[in-house]
Amino acid sequence: MFKRSRKTAFSALTVAATLAVGAGFQPASAAENVVSAAVGTRLKDATKLVADRKITEAVVKAKEALAQAKTPFETFKANEVLAYIDLKANDAQGALHSYEQIIDSPYLDANSRVNYTKTLAQLYFGTRSYGKAIEYGQRVLKSSPSDVDFIVLVGQAYFVQKDCRSASRYMDQAIEASQAQGRAPKENYYLIKLQCAIDTQNVPGQIDALDDLVARFPKKEHWNRLLSLAGRDQPDKTTQHIYRLKFDTDTIDTAAEFVEMAQLALQFGYPGEAQAVLERGFSSKVLEKDPAIAERNHRLLDSARKDADADKKTLPLQDKEARNQKTGEADVKLGFAYLTYGDATHAVEALERGIGKGGVKSPAEAQIFLGMAYLKAKRPDDAKRAFRAAKDDQLLGTVAKLWIIRADQS
């Protein structure tokens, strides 16, 4: 699902190299802070050549300066300039070698050391030296533990090496650090966690990652994968509730799913729901793709329409009879029937009445139906309150929590 690659999970950082001839160092002593004419002239010429975009010639001059260096300070300055020019020349290996020579130098000031350490981590990642990328990335994080970009760089280096435990830990840190800084965590942080859960066959971990993805990035692909996982090996009632979420998120995309949802709707006594499902299946052309079963699907739709027409005609009588019941079961069933016919106002009225009476067979289902009706009536806050009332139910709690996410997106 999520391809491991050299590309970092965060927005590409610009590799920063500071050209600091004669500056940007802490000399061991004043006497050491000297560059000879032979070295200095060549370094000056190299920097001018860079300015003139003559990179190849600049590399030659910088290497000449390095060859002429007689003191540790001259060697440091020559390597610092050469590292900068190597980057300009897109010579990552050359830059890595030069930076490695100076990264722990006593002549390097603290700010430059941090910048060069960041550059090394990025260069090593770009050259697929992931162990080294981790080493230098962690050095960055010792001084800047909340640097999200380098938390992610280290995490992705672990991910590419298939160390999912470490990768997931760093993605969690990146998410927490982003939120602490008022930044929205990026989708790739959760995708890495998801892929790690897939790789380790950790289904609860997959569901947790997908919960976060649908809440923050409500793409159809995320909803589809989450609802497919949540619907595995469930009883018919839960399966139908999962289908209702799939219908609401427009993630039913196979003929088998359209037909099964319609048949379950008929089984539970909601022909209006069956009709709506099958009509969408035909309007999306899914139920017509296979000519061998298209005729059968048309017959099923015709049957659902007839049942729905008959059912709608009896709604006033059902309403009268439900009101006279001492318990609310008939009101709840009637309320959801109203909802399947697109009448959110009467649905809310009947469901509130039924829940208020009490004595319903499944209080959690009644609350979910009420939440769905509130959503259709454009009352998302009331919907969330209803869904929260069902979130601890053993059979339908997961469904209720997913509806809360949907309500947040309304």
What structural domains and CATH numbers belong to the chain?
A: 315-408 (1.25.40.10)
What does the block give as tokens for 52? 């003139």
**Structure confidence at residue 1 as a pLDDT band (50, 70, 90):** low
What mean pLDDT is predicted for residues 5-12? 43
Low-confidence winner among 15-24, 118-127, 271-280, 381-390 (lowest mean pLDDT): 15-24
Quick one: pLDDT at residue 293? 86
Give the range with max mean pLDDT: 196-200, 228-232, 369-373: 369-373
Quick one: pLDDT at residue 248? 97
pLDDT for 344-358, tens place per residue? 999 999 999 999 999
Mean pLDDT of the chain: 91
DSSP state at residue 27: -
Residue 22 in this model has a pLDDT that exceeds 80: no
What is the 3-class SS of 128-148, one letter each residue? Answer: CCHHHHHHHHHHHHHHCCCCH
Quick one: pLDDT at residue 290? 83
Please give the Cα distance from 272 to 264 (Å, whole number): 12
Distance from CA of residue 409 to its chain's centroid?
16
Please give the Cα distance from 137 to 145 (Å, whole number): 10
Quick one: pLDDT at residue 349? 98
- C-alpha to C-alpha distances, 248 to 243, 309, 407, 410, nearest whole angstrom: 8, 23, 11, 12
Quick one: pLDDT at residue 4? 58
Angle at 100 between CA 98 and CA 17, to 5 degrees: 60
Please give the Cα distance from 269 to 202 (Å, whole number): 37
Q: Which amino acid, 126?
A: G
State percent of the chain over pLDDT 70. Answer: 92
**Structure confidence at residue 50 as a pLDDT band (50, 70, 90):** confident
Q: Is the dihedral of CA 69, 75, 77, 78 positive or negative?
A: positive
Please give the Cα distance from 118 to 140 (Å, whole number): 6
pLDDT for 99-154, tens place per residue? 999 999 999 999 999 999 999 999 999 999 999 999 999 999 999 999 999 999 99
Quick one: pLDDT at residue 25? 30
**Structure confidence at residue 23 as a pLDDT band (50, 70, 90):** very low
Please give the Cα distance from 40 to 37 (Å, whole number): 5
Cα Rg of the chain (Å, integer)? 32
pLDDT for 313-338, tens place per residue? 999 999 999 999 999 999 999 999 99
Residue 18 in this model has a pLDDT that exceeds 70: no
Supply the pTM of this predicted model.
0.83
What mean pLDDT is predicted for residues 75-87? 92
What mean pLDDT is predicted for residues 77-89? 92
Quick one: pLDDT at residue 182? 96
pLDDT for 225-254, tens place per residue? 999 999 999 999 999 999 999 999 999 999
Quick one: pLDDT at residue 21? 40
Q: Which amino acid, 64?
A: E
